[in-house]
Structure 1
């Protein structure tokens, strides 16, 4: 029988491979075409639509309540956007306690907030992996290091290719990020 850490690793691998479109039926074809969004989300009105990508880099997270245990949070994420403001993605980050973590998600973006064409908001929902050991209870509904999450954000587009975003992390804090679209 597998030990708990082996089971966690298997669960994370299965969750990530499913979310990244690497189902077992197409694993050989998908290994070289890794995508965080399935092509079925890139269909609008029965027609396939163009997709864009966002690369998100975050060097700064502000915690509402500081702790001597908090470490700097660094994040890199890739989102695949499709028609209708939908997106899917994967974020890799070091959490507030220095533990390697990941967030697999889907979401929706709304543009032209308050009549400002440069202002937008997004909300994503998915699963976070990484809060383990003595910090497993620092994130709600955590089981085997995996917890559900909903993360809203507010963004400002400097240009069609560059924006800044602020991600609300519930009662934990706020993450600031630079985003480059391609």
Structure 2
């Protein structure tokens, strides 16, 4: 289960954005599980999800829309070097950049992933997130990286959060749902 997702091959925001746009943007997949209420899930990806996944909502200073953040990244007007100057970088953004490659691993490798249904957890821990996929990031299983998914009004799910948590936590104490297969549409 444990695999190191430590400092990835993608070292710049431009590389991360290009990776997400090339591998995920405009694509959808079907995820099948052994949990009857969520037996077949449709996940849809949009590059505009990326700023939120990377934690840009926590940046101090001027606020930008997701499309503005993407344009700033593409023009190299927003870089990791600039992000490091923000007071929220170490607490809210650093791990999201460090473990971004977990997204690639979840959807483009055959490694085992753990899926947990979160929609019935009270009080809600991740807002509108209904399920998440996680893996441990250290051999002692003291930390996990997770990606959470929220439903849309169109019946799809979208990536809503990517971050690191210490374990054990409420998610590691939940019943695990088996991911039977993933197929890109």
Q: TM-score, normalised by structure 2?
A: 0.30
Which has a greater percent of strand?
1
Higher helix proportion? 2
Bigger Rg, which one: 1
RCO higher in structure (CA 8 A, sep ≥6): 2
